[in-house]
Amino acid sequence: MAKLDNSNKSISDCAREVLHEEARAVESLCGKLNDEFAITVNAIHSAVHGENRRGKVVVTGVGKSGLIGKKISATLSSTGTRSAFLHPTEAAHGDLGIICEEDVVIAISKSGETSELLAILPLVRKLGSSLVAMVGNLSSTLARRSDHVIDCSVEREACPHDLVPTTSTTATLAMGDALAIALSRLRDFSPGDFAVYHPSGSLGRRLLLSVADLMHRGERNPTVSPETDSTTVVEVMTETKLGGVNVVDGKGMLLGIITEGDVRRHIRRGEEFFSLRASDMMTKSPQTISEDATAEQAYRKMEFRESQINVLPVVDSSGVCVGLLRLHDVIGGGRD
């Protein structure tokens, strides 16, 4: 095979060929999803989510297959199916203790002849676990000795010599995702469930927390009256460092909001800027949110608009301004 030259076009063409090859392999997996796949999914669902609810999925593999196995196991766990990864070599030195009779063991191997995997099969059987093979060779020893087989075969690797695991690992990873999502759909896995398993993630944060948990209230809620001069508005905004100031009347009712963007637009007016009042600078009838709303609801109000909103006034049912919420509070680290 000709050596690749170092031109940008040649390199890009090579990369494009790899992506096309792997995309074709993933697309071909659709034709391999038969009744056996559905039976396998139901067997796993019964073991982990059935009446006893005592089982888990133990994923095992060596080398690149092992790395893919770790990701599949992590995806299963994050979508509500209990799972752990077990390295076959460590399994033979005591780690088989994590497997119990109610478990389902998923063994990953392109050839289906990986010696380390085959060595622990009799032990898995002795423990009473069911065995699922994710293989590229349906006639292999691993496939023949398994209760269920998921076909992950590919025509060739993206490697020019058809040697380096590339297309095969991508296909196996994609099939693992299909398995995990099918299981999550079976148990009606919800965004709220996802949040419970991802409390530190951005999405989990938005789904678990309310506006009341994140907003700036009391002395941290920057407010000015409509008569406040522009210099004071800037001072309040600079002191609180929240990127916005709520404009309220004598009863605390929200009249509008002034953002850093508003200040930048008005300051272009030159000397005239210093004669402006808050009522001249504010955005009237701004988007608002209640403190009982979820952080996800606030996020959607702020992020999914033609012009992204970075600060959002928080009002109660009577229209009184009780706080200010930043986009950063919702997707970042919370209140400063």
Chain segment 15-51, per-residue pLDDT in tens: 999 999 999 999 999 999 999 999 999 999 999 887 7
Q: pLDDT above 90 covers what percent of the chain?
A: 70
Has residue 211 got a pLDDT over 80?
A: yes
Which of 49-53, 61-65, 125-129, 327-331 is predicted least confidently?
49-53
Report if pTM > 0.85.
Answer: no
Mean pLDDT of the chain: 89
Question: Highest mean pLDDT: which of 7-21, 104-118, 156-170, 192-206?
Answer: 104-118
Other CB atoms within 10 A of residue 143 CB: 21
| pLDDT value for 52 | 66
Has residue 336 got a pLDDT over 50?
A: no
The better pLDDT of the pair 330, 199 is held by 330
Has residue 311 got a pLDDT over 70?
A: yes
Question: Highest mean pLDDT: which of 74-88, 186-200, 299-313?
Answer: 74-88
Has residue 202 got a pLDDT over 90?
A: no
Question: Highest mean pLDDT: which of 54-58, 148-152, 205-209, 264-268?
Answer: 148-152
